[in-house]
Chains A and B, each alone.
Chain A
Amino acid sequence: MMTKTSIFGAALLSILATGASAAEPSILVQSTTSTQNSGFYDYILPIYKSETGVTVNVVAVGTGQAIKNAQNCDADVLLVHARAAEEKFVDGGFGVARSDLMYNDFVIVGPTADPAGIDGGKDAVAAFETIADKKTLFASRGDDSGTNKAELRLWEKAGIDTEAASGDWYRATGSGMGATLNASVGMGAYTISDRATWISFGNKGDYKITVEGDPVLFNQYGIILVNPEKCPSVKTDLGQQFIDWLTSPHGQQLINDFKLDGKQLFFANANK
């Protein structure tokens, strides 16, 4: 006969068994799918670990969800790309301070056949207007991520109501950057991506960058220590150490050195 104690005993054992591995120092970072999918963490975290002995555990979700998780105190550090939302996070007392970390830019990618005829353009808003005019398919992240927020700002500037077109030519995938690129390639839709994810994306098919170089496509990443006054579980020293390292000349150099196919993916710009 299985007694209650044996069930709880087994449950307890499994918890103890998994808890034992938490001995080495580690921090939890809430971050974005764009930084993970581009391989940035695979590159930089092993270097950090070898220099400091600290393991950095990254949960990569959309910026909106990352901020929400950090507000629930499920993070030590927040590394995302949606300046307005980040400042709101700090102003709300959830973060200690925000520093710029690095930037790259967004690009509008689409099929080589270019059904909307926007290829080679330098004006992102005009390109969006053309896509809407011609009702060519466009895939949106639709997940409140940093990229999604940047995209929605462009539609707003173009004066287009995407809500009305949703399900028609405007397709909100509700998923990460890579998944949305897969969906775009699958259905022949244009989409907007951060450059790093695009460069490292392995399923490009016959897709290419159609519009780039517009200043409105600037994409700034920021880094924030979660406020220990709101969240007592925050590892303040370890979290700050990680931020200081990334924003130091050494960390900034490493960010600039991260290349794929000879192309630099992120440009360090911490103002220290």
Chain B
Amino acid sequence: MQDFAGAFGLAFGLIASGDPDLFEIVGLSMRVSLTALLLSCLIGFPIGALLVVRKFFGRGIVIALVNSMMGFPPVVIGLLVYLALSRAGPLGWLGLLYSPTAMIIAQTLLIAPIVAALSRQVLEALQAEYDEQFRSLGVSRGSAMLALIIDGRYGLVTVALAGFGRAVAEVGAVIIVGGNIEHLTRVMTTAIALETSKGDLGMALALGIILMSIAVSVNLGASALRAVAERQAYA
């Protein structure tokens, strides 16, 4: 199909021409998803660590709950955030609907459970290793959580990448709470949806190629950082 061949040319053309609209859209995608990721890590890592160090009653149920929240449909999250942030909703007075902040909130709700559930899994293995030491040294719960997060940081990078991937690729939530407003809340995925509905499939595909290239670069960058850090740590 000519769309495929044309799309690659179009994608490179767009990047090479330094199209300001494209850079604005890519920039907003990054800003929204990276902020959501940062907040999700701040929320998810401690929850993951807490679920590892604290063996409370009903812990199994909480873990199952957090795990199943990983599969929450973005469009449902979008709807919930819309209902909360709408002028008619309980948080309407904040005036946040159709703003990048609303998109950050939605994506944070979407990926914080992913970060929490996956980091619990990563830290669980580490805890098994450290458990005896923690006990013999009488380490407090807080210090144990911190030690797990610091020593488990390489695994947690992968966790963060999984969260980032989910955030940057999702369209269902951001199109509802952001509204796909040009120069304000239009990101890569909503722009792709718009170009598709205009029937401009070449442009849609070109934007898709750019989005995938960014995702690949972020992942390569993270694994390169990790490789360097690991080499230094074991040198």
Contacts and interface: CB of A to CB of B under 8 A. Distances in A.
Report whether chain A binds chain B. yes
Interface of A: 1-2, 6-7, 10-11, 14-15, 18-19, 22, 28, 33, 36-37, 39, 41-42, 55, 57-60, 69, 71-74, 175-179, 181-182, 200-204, 231, 233
When A and B form their complex, which 8 residue pairs have the shortest distance between CB atoms, in order from nearest?
Answer: A178-B197, A203-B199, A73-B87, A59-B179, A202-B199, A72-B88, A201-B199, A18-B101
A48 B63 CA distance: 53
Q: Which of A6, A178, A201 has the most CB of B within 10 A?
A: A178
Interface stretch (B35-43, B51-59, B159-167, B215-223): B35-43
Contacts of A55: 183-184
B42 A2 contact: yes
B98 A59 contact: yes
A177 B89 CA distance: 29
A203 B101 CA distance: 34
A176 B195 CA distance: 12
B92 A73 contact: yes
B104 interface: yes
Nearest to A178: B197
Nearest to B176: A61
A202 B88 contact: no
Contact of B181 (A10, A57, A201, A231): A57
Interface in B78-107: 86-89, 92, 95-101, 104
A11 B96 CA distance: 13
B191 interface: no
B211 interface: no
A180 to B, nearest CB: 9
Contacts of A175: 197
A14 B101 CA distance: 7
Given A10-B42, A59-B179, A74-B98, A203 B104 contact: no
Nearest to B203: A202
B119 interface: no
Contacts of B131: none
Nearest to B42: A7
Interface in B150-209: 179-184, 194, 196-201
Contacts, number: 94
B196 A178 contact: yes
Contacts of B143: 1
A72 B98 CA distance: 13
Contact of A33 (B42, B92, B142, B197): B197
B39 A11 contact: yes
Nearest to B185: A57
B2 to A, nearest CB: 12
Contacts of A71: 88
B123 interface: no
A87 B136 CA distance: 75
Contacts of B101: 14-15, 18-19
Contacts of B46: 2
Contacts of A6: 42
B76 interface: no
A123 to B, nearest CB: 28
A19 B182 CA distance: 17
A207 to B, nearest CB: 10
B98 A37 contact: no
A177 B196 CA distance: 11
Contacts of B179: 57, 59
A231 B87 CA distance: 8
B98 A203 contact: no
A182 B197 contact: yes
A201 B197 CA distance: 8
A231 B146 CA distance: 48
A74 B197 contact: no
A182 B199 CA distance: 7
Nearest to A37: B198
Contacts of A37: 194, 197-198
A55 B198 CA distance: 23
A200 B198 contact: yes
A202 B198 contact: yes
A14 B35 contact: yes
Contacts of B145: 1
Contacts of B182: 41-42, 57-58
Q: Which of B180, B182, B200 has the most CB of A within 10 A?
A: B182
A18 B100 contact: yes
